[in-house]
Amino acid sequence: MKTITVARRFCGPANSSNGGYFAGLVARLAAETLTVRLLKPPPLETAMGIVEREDGVIEVRHDDTLIGEAKPSQLSLALLSRPLSYFEAVEASRRYAGFSAHRFPTCFVCGTQRPRGDGMRIFAGPIPERKLVAAPWVPDASLDGGDGKVRPEFMSAALDCPGYYAVADADQMMLLGELTVHLDRLVHVGESCTVVGWRVGSDGRKHEAGTAIFDEDGELCGRARAVWIEPRA
């Protein structure tokens, strides 16, 4: 049986995987766009078995527990009418809510306690007049896939946390329930990229967010649609 394992470095909450990274690992198992649904927190340093069903659904299991599942999908997402500049993203990141309060400060993607070269340090701050959040991102050498480009699972991770900050209010507790990622191309290590997130819609405890990565020339490189869920009280 095929397996995937999430190294401790790639945590979201302290004891489970960052959701976007996990979704990226699963998405690499198929040659088409997948919607990855997280059903349980993916454990760290633990081999999870892959079951490929006849209907095209991929199951990720730890013993008898279903951790997540993925199915072929089409990504429908309206993009920004005007891309942001890298410098606009730098200014927005100064207003990052996680600097004041952060539920998961050791998160691989957006954690403030992760040093450069260890965490991705994507700090998406608000731009109220555009109704979105934005962050600069310069991928470091540890994300290199061996060809000078960022590995796909790290692109997927980068498209995760900015969506939370696009829909959450003041450190509100939400969990990633579902993520659909489409990568147009992989960005280069050391490239000055811009990551943005915006609210798509809300329905009760469920909130949908769109995210996108642009390269240093303002070209779209990746996009995602996420469902964030407020846990029941």
Picking from 124, 135, 133, 160, the residue whose alpha carbon sits closest to that of residue 11 is 160
The 10s digit of each residue's pLDDT in 3-38 is: 999 999 999 999 999 999 999 999 999 888 999 999
Dihedral, CA atoms, 89, 113, 12, 191, nearest 10 degrees?
A: 40
In a domain, 78, yes or no: no
**Residue that finishes a domain, picked among 50, 72, 94:** 72
Helix, strand, or coil (residue 38): strand
Q: How far is CA 122 from the centre of its chain?
A: 10
CB of 92 closer than 8 Å to CB of 127: yes
3-state secondary structure 59-112: EEEECCEEEEEEEECCCCCCCCCCCCCHHHHHHHHCCCHHHCCCCCCCCCCCCC
Rama region for 63: left / alpha / beta (φ>0; ψ in -120 to 50; rest): left
The 10s digit of each residue's pLDDT in 64-101 is: 999 999 999 999 888 876 778 999 999 999 999 999 99
Helix (H) or strand (E) holding 176: strand 175-183
- Provide the number of structural domains found in the chain: 2
* Whether 60 and 115 share a structural domain: no
> What integer pLDDT is reported at residue 227 of this predicted model?
97
**Domain containing residue 45: CATH number:** 3.10.129.10
pTM equals 0.95
> What integer pLDDT is reported at residue 58 of this predicted model?
96
Helix, strand, or coil (residue 199): strand
CB of 120 closer than 8 Å to CB of 137: yes
* Whether 118 and 31 share a structural domain: no
> What integer pLDDT is reported at residue 1 of this predicted model?
83
In a domain, 219, yes or no: yes
* Whether 137 and 186 share a structural domain: yes
Picking from 25, 15, 31, the residue whose alpha carbon sits closest to that of residue 156 is 25
* Whether 154 and 208 share a structural domain: yes
The 10s digit of each residue's pLDDT in 93-132 is: 999 999 999 999 999 999 999 999 999 999 999 999 999 9
The 10s digit of each residue's pLDDT in 173-229 is: 999 999 999 999 999 999 999 999 999 999 999 999 999 999 999 999 999 999 999
**Residue that finishes a domain, picked among 37, 72, 107:** 72
Q: What are phi and psi of 24, to 5 degrees?
A: -65, -40
* Whether 219 and 158 share a structural domain: yes
* Whether 122 and 169 share a structural domain: yes
In a domain, 46, yes or no: yes
* Whether 32 and 95 share a structural domain: no
CB of 108 closer than 8 Å to CB of 18: yes
**Residue that finishes a domain, picked among 48, 72, 96:** 72
* Whether 134 and 181 share a structural domain: yes
- Domain range for 100 is 86-229
DSSP string, 108-150: TTT-TTSPBTTB-----EEEGGGTEEEEEE---GGGB-SSSBB
* Whether 36 and 119 share a structural domain: no
The 10s digit of each residue's pLDDT in 132-151 is: 999 999 999 999 999 999 99
* Whether 110 and 223 share a structural domain: yes
Q: How far is CA 100 from the centre of its chain?
A: 21
